[in-house]
Amino acid sequence: MRSDAVKKGSTRTAHRTLFHAMGYTDEELSKPLIGVVNAFNEIIPGHIHLREIAQAVKLGVAAAGGTPIEFPAIGICDGIAMGHAGMKYPLASRELICDSIEAVANGHAFDGLVLIPNCDKIVPGMLMAAGRINIPAVVVSGGPMLAGRHKGKDISVSTMFEAAGKVESGQMSPEELRTMECQACPGCGSCSGLFTANTMNCMTEVLGMGLPGNGTIPAAYTGARRMLAKQAGHVIMELIRKDIKPRDIMTRQAFENAIAVDMAIGGSTNTVLHLPAIAHEAGVELPLEVFDEISGKAAYICKMSPGGTYHMQDLNEAGGINAVMKELTKIQLIHTEAQTVTGSIGDRIAQAVNERPEVLHSVENAYMHKGGIAILKGNLAPLGSVIKESAVEPDLLTYTGQAKCFDSEEAAIEAILGGEIHEGHVVVIRYEGPKGGPGMREMLNPTAVITGMGLKVALLTDGRFSGASRGACIGHISPEAMEGGPIALIEDGDVIVIDIPQRKLELQVDAEELARRKAAWKQPEPKVKTGYLSRYARMVTSAYTGAVLQ
C-alpha cells in the first residue's frame, strides 16, 4: 500500500506514535488510509451540510475495510463574492484547492481519496487534484438546492439578481423584492438552476468520477444523498483493490462525453474553462476547437434555468444524467465504452428511462440541433470567445451595435444604472480577464441588471459569466485586454457585429487602424500588486487554455 511509507517498519515507529496520539489503532493502520476531502464551511449554502455527507462517506469507507481520515478544503461562494472585489478570488481559488489537496494527499501518502465538493470552483479544483495526484479517487457532491417558489412559480438566485434590475427600472416594488428574497433559496445545496456548480457536478458523473445521481439528486433528499455518500465509501475501496486511477477514467473519450452532455443540457460557459483545466491535469489535450466540433453535432434537449424554467429537481425526476446520455447515443455522441468508477458508461445507461419528456426532449424533438454553447471567433477574438447560445433570445442571435467601453465591471454597472446604456449599444467590459482582473470575474451583476431592466443589448468581456447569466453575453474573449488583445483596442462608437449562428465576432475597424491603435497601446498597471492575486496574475494563462497556471 502507498500508505506503508508512513506506517510500516521499525523506522516508522515515530510516525505510528503520532497516529496513536490521534486514537488510531493498529488494526486501523493495517488498512488502506483514505483521505476524505471535505469542503464544508459556513459561508456557502451548497457546503453548509457537507459534514453529514462526510460522515456518511466515512461510514462507507470503514464498512468496506478502509480507514477514513478527513481533512478540509477551502471554498468561496460565487454568489456572495459577486459584484465586488471578492469576485477576483473564486477562479484563482481553484488552483489553491488543487494544490492544497496535492500537498496533503502526497504529504501523508494516502492510498485513495473521496472528494466532497459542491459549488463552482471547488468541483473542478478537486477533479484537477485527482488527475494530478492520480491515486484512486471518487467524487461525491452535496447535491443541488430545491427551487424556491413565488406566486406559484419556481424561482432561484438568478431571479433575484434580475429582480434588482426590475426594481431599478420601476417594474417591481421594493416590498415584493424583499418577499422574493426570503423565498428564492429555501435551503442547503448548490443553487437550483443549471449554473456552474450543478453543471460541473453533472460533468463529474459523465467524466466517470462520480456516481449516478451525483449531479441531480437534491441536497434536501437527505436519505438519498447519504446513501450515495456511503456508496462512494465502498467504491473507493473497490478502486484501490482493482488499482483503477483517475487517469484510467478521465480519458479523451470521457471528456468528449462530458462536452456532448454539456451541449445537450445547455450548461454553464464556465465548463469551457474547467474541462480543459481538468484535462490538463489528467494529461489529456482538450483544445477549444473540440467544443465547437461537438457542438455542431449535438442536440440541445434540456432547457434548464436560466435558459428555461426547469430546475435540477426536474432533471432528476426525468431520469438524470444517465437519461441524457442514453438519448445522445441515438446520434452517436456518447462513447459507451468509456470507464467510470463503477463500470462502463454503457452499463450505467442500459436501464435509463426518460420519465419526464417535457423536461428532457428526445433528440428528434430537440430545441436546437446543435449544442447550447457556442465558440465565436473573428478579429475581435482571434483565439476564441464563449457564449451560452441556449440562453440568448432569438432576436439577439445576430446583432450589430456601437461599442460602449468600460475598463472595469464597476464602471459598467454605474453606467447601466445611470441610464447611459440604450438599445443599439454593445457593452464592452475589459481588463477583467485572468491576468487583468486578476481572477476573471463573473459578470452576473451587469447581465442580470440589463435583463431585469429589459434592455436589448449585447455584452462582451474578457472576463466570464455566471452560469446564471442569460442574454447576448460573450465572455472569455482571448487574447485578453491585459495582453494587448483586440478587445483593448476598441473605442466608443466602434461598430461590432455578432453572428452567433455563423460563430463570428467582428470589430468593424480596418486592419491599419487597429495596427495604429496597437502601436499606441500601453499595458496598464496591475490592479493588484501584492499577495496571492499578484502571483496568480503573473502565472495564469489565457482563458482559451483553461486559465491554468504556468
Q: Which residues are known catalytic residues?
A: 466
Other CB atoms within 10 A of residue 409 CB: 25
DSSP state of 207: H
Amino acid in position 517: R
Return all residues near 100 (Cβ < 8 A) that are at least 6 apart: 73, 74
Tell me the C-alpha distance between 25 and 193, whole Å.
Answer: 45
User: In this structure, how many other beta carbons lie within 10 angstroms of the beta carbon of residue 204?
Assistant: 28
Whether the CB-CB separation of 518 and 389 falls below 8 Å is answered with: no
Known binding residue 248? Answer is: no
The bridge status of strand 458-461 relative to strand 473-478 is parallel
Paired strand residues for 20: none
Query: Is 121 annotated as belonging to a binding site?
Result: yes
Say how far apart CA 461 and CA 1 lie, in whole Å.
49
- The continuous run of DSSP H or E covering 429 comes out as strand 425-429
Please, how many CA atoms are within 13 Å of residue 372, restricted to the half-sphere of its CB? Answer: 33
State yes or no: 120 annotated in a binding site.
yes
**Residue 330: count of CB within 10 angstroms of its CB:** 12
| β partners of residue 381 | 378
- CA separation for the pair 128, 119 (Å, rounded): 15
Cα gap 474→451, rounded to integer Å = 15
Residue numbers in the known binding site are 78, 120-121, 442
Annotated binding site for Mg(2+): 78, 120-121, 442
